[in-house]
Structure 1
């Protein structure tokens, strides 16, 4: 059974074939004609959509929900809802005051959307849970802390480490409460989804964040469940310290070299999942592109112990179903799929784009190369680092935002030689690569570029 493949892989045991776990997210709703909002607020829609995913994509494992704002909404963040993405955090309750939420904010079964989610989980468990490993996804404590505190959290990590530890401890309690409810609802795997981990140095993770993560994974283990640690962005440097947080698996996106990352996870006996590109392949590619991508991944890894094939993160809402079906076929029938790409050539033709004349510009040009600021937490906070502080630099700077799900922006990203997202360029120089600058760092970098224009 597919469920057994996933569970064995997460235990770093050899399997007869590589398991396939599509992170369908709100894309599941698209299969039945529901908007993201309609799906994420209605148990009937969640169940109906996931049954369709099961029928079309033949998953060995499946997340019931991919929404990192459930906890934030309960604690007091205002959300901005959308038709084609999960909601995003609009307000940060602790942005103006360095306090901690009271213990009554810890989620319970009757909090926020929890009744809808828990009902859906129970029904999905009954409908498809016998042969499909069900993932309960919770917002990781560091990303949750950023939802509460906003971009000020990155300054706090330099100026008030004790506060960060206290805030992380609270968020860890939230993660444990969520994990407990999801386990009670029948989830087989608890995935701690913390995209912002890629924005923090390994040293900072080890000193400020690691204890909280270890506590969460210890709790999941104490409940006889398996766990996975999801990250977005270029987490290459963070993979080892993530392993030291003691999850059963790690999930990475296209920014990470899966072959090299697996060498590290294998050393710790931890599984690894990933990392089909979301936009260039799944959203904008052809069926051949998707088959070729999966086959290349399988061929690149000799020892497939602990390997799970999956998208790099939550699939875009508009991903063509035929592309995801192609991925499933390539994982489950690699030999026959090879015949379909014998004469393969990439379908992506770069579009001509014009690069700014930075030297001629009177103002410093800040360019943000993002995956999707409405869906990717790291992208959201990199964008916010500019928007929140722009009044301090508006006389000497302007900004432009490029999104990697728009074909013209993909072409621009490639032409600029941007290898990792999110990245912030200042006058054409890649200044902050998968790192969110705090206010002082951003202003200093812009002023330095402005001074060069005067020389």
Structure 2
């Protein structure tokens, strides 16, 4: 049974086969013809979509929703809704103030969209819970703090550390409350999803963030559920400090070498999950690309315990279902699929023509943002916001351009520029901030240094 296979992986027991968790997210709605906005506001649509996901993709584990803005909306952030992405945060209640929200604002079962979400969780548990492990995804404390505070949080980390600690403590309490509600609704695993962790140095994490995360994982364990720590971006340097926070599992995206990361997590007996490439493979690839990606992942791992195969993050809405079926087949029938793709070289983007700017002769400094998806990836959202927020002060001598890694031409440009990790900010063609969101002073200084 798939559910027990996930449990074995998170209990760090020997596995008879590799567990498979498709992070279908709003893609599940696409399978039934629902937009992201429709699905994420309707329990009937969520349950219907998850049943279709279960039927098509044969998952061992399955997230009920993938929306990191639920808590932010409850706490006063305004959201911008989209057809094919979860909503994005467009206002920050704590911008310009160093207040800490009152504990009376902690979510309850009646807050925001929670009545609908909890209903969907209970119904999905009744429909699928005997066979598949259900994941309840919550927004991690640091990303939630960023939703509330905006880009000011990155300057706070340099100039007002006590405030950051206090805000993190509050956001950790929000995470614990959400975990409690989701566990009561039948969730087997609570995944703490915090994309922005990869944008902070391990030392800063240890000093300012770790206590709150550790408290959340300890709380989930005390409630009898499993925990997983989702992070986006190049979290290679952060893996060890994440392990020290004591989650049962960690999930990474394609920016991280899974085999190398697993060598670190194995030292702490923590399960590692990931990291099928989302856009180059799942969205724009073919079935052979997806089979080969999964088989290469499985083959890269020497010790098959403490291992779950999954997409690198929330699957793009328009991912062809045949590609995800191919991933499922590669996990479930690995030897057969290995034979099918043994001589396959893979498709490529190198033949797409792109024009690189003439940085030397440009009148203005050119800032280029290479992002996964500024509407869906929180780290990308805040890297873009760091430029937008500072743009008024540098618009006379700088301009910025945004490239999105789900557009084929932008993928080709990313490859031609030699960008290995996303998000990355280039200034006049040089990689200035790699998986690191600058504060305003750092950004302005880096741009001014390039003014002719």
Matched, 1:183 2:173: no
User: What is aligned with 1:19?
Assistant: 19
The answer for the alignment partner of 1:388 in structure 2 is: 389
Q: Which residue of 2 aligns with 1:122?
A: 122
Q: What SS does the corresponding residue of 1:41 show, helix, strand or coil? A: coil
Instruction: Please state how far the C-alpha of 1:348 moved relative to its aligned partner.
Output: 2.2
SS class of match (2:136) = strand
TM-score by length of 2: 0.99
Q: Distance in 2 between matches of 1:349 and 1:164?
A: 42
Once residues 167 and 345 of structure 1 are traced to their aligned partners in structure 2, the CA distance between those partners, rounded to angstroms, is: 49
CA positional deviation for 1:302:
1.5
Residues 23-422 of structure 1 mapped to structure 2, 5 A cutoff: 23-350=23-350, 351-422=352-423
Counterpart CA distance in 2 for 1:130 and 1:137 is 19
Task: Work out the CA distance in 1 between the residues paired with 2:391 and 2:340.
Answer: 50
Q: Deviations over 1:100-153 (max 9, x none)?
A: 112221000000000000000000000000010000000000000000000000
Give me the whole-angstrom Cα distance separating, in 2, the residues matched to 1:348 and 1:34.
Answer: 31
Q: Secondary structure at the match of 2:111?
A: coil
TM-score (norm 1): 0.99
Q: Counterpart of 2:445?
A: 444
SS of the residue corresponding to residue 110 of structure 2 reads coil
Contact 2:349 2:408 in 1 (8 A): no
Deviation at 1:338, TM superposition (A): 1.7
Structure 2 CA distance for aligned equivalents of residues 63 and 222 of structure 1? 21
Residues 283-306 of structure 1: CA deviation (Å, up to 9, x unaligned): 000000000000011111111111
Query: Which segments of structure 1 move beyond 4 Å, counting only runs of 4 or more?
Result: none
Give the Cα–Cα distance (whole angstroms) in 2 for the partners of residues 43 and 425 of structure 1.
42
Aligned equivalents of 2:390 and 2:55: distance in 1?
A: 48
Equivalent-residue separation in structure 2 for 1:440 and 1:400 (angstroms):
20
Q: Secondary structure at the match of 2:143?
A: helix
The superposition leaves residues 395-427 of structure 1 with CA deviations (integer Å, 9 ceiling, x where unpaired) of: 110100000000000000000000000000000
Between the aligned partners of 1:201 and 1:348, the Cα distance in structure 2 is: 33
SS at match of 1:388: helix
1:20 partner SS: coil
Once the two structures are TM-superposed, the CA of residue 212 in structure 1 deviates from its matched residue by 0.4
Cα distance in 2 for partners of 1:108, 1:254 equals: 35
Counting matched residue pairs gives 451
Question: Are the equivalent residues in 1 in contact too, given 2:349–2:411 (CA < 8 A)?
Answer: no
Give the superposed CA RMSD.
0.6
Any idea what SS the aligned residue of 2:123 has? helix
| Contiguous gaps of at least 5 residues in structure 2 | none
CA distance, structure 1, for counterparts of residue 13 and residue 162 of structure 2: 40
Secondary structure at 1:449's aligned position in 2?
coil
Shift of 1:345: 2.4
Structure 1 distance, partners of 2:348, 2:51, is 32
Determine helix, strand or coil for the equivalent of 2:432: strand
Q: Equivalents in 2 of 1:349, 1:28: separation in Å?
A: 27
Structure 2 distance, partners of 1:10, 1:238, is: 20
3-state SS in 1 of match to 2:336: helix
2:342 & 2:7 partners in 1: Cα distance? 33
Within 1, Cα distance between the matches of 2:194 and 2:300?
Answer: 27
Between the aligned partners of 2:257 and 2:343, the Cα distance in structure 1 is: 26
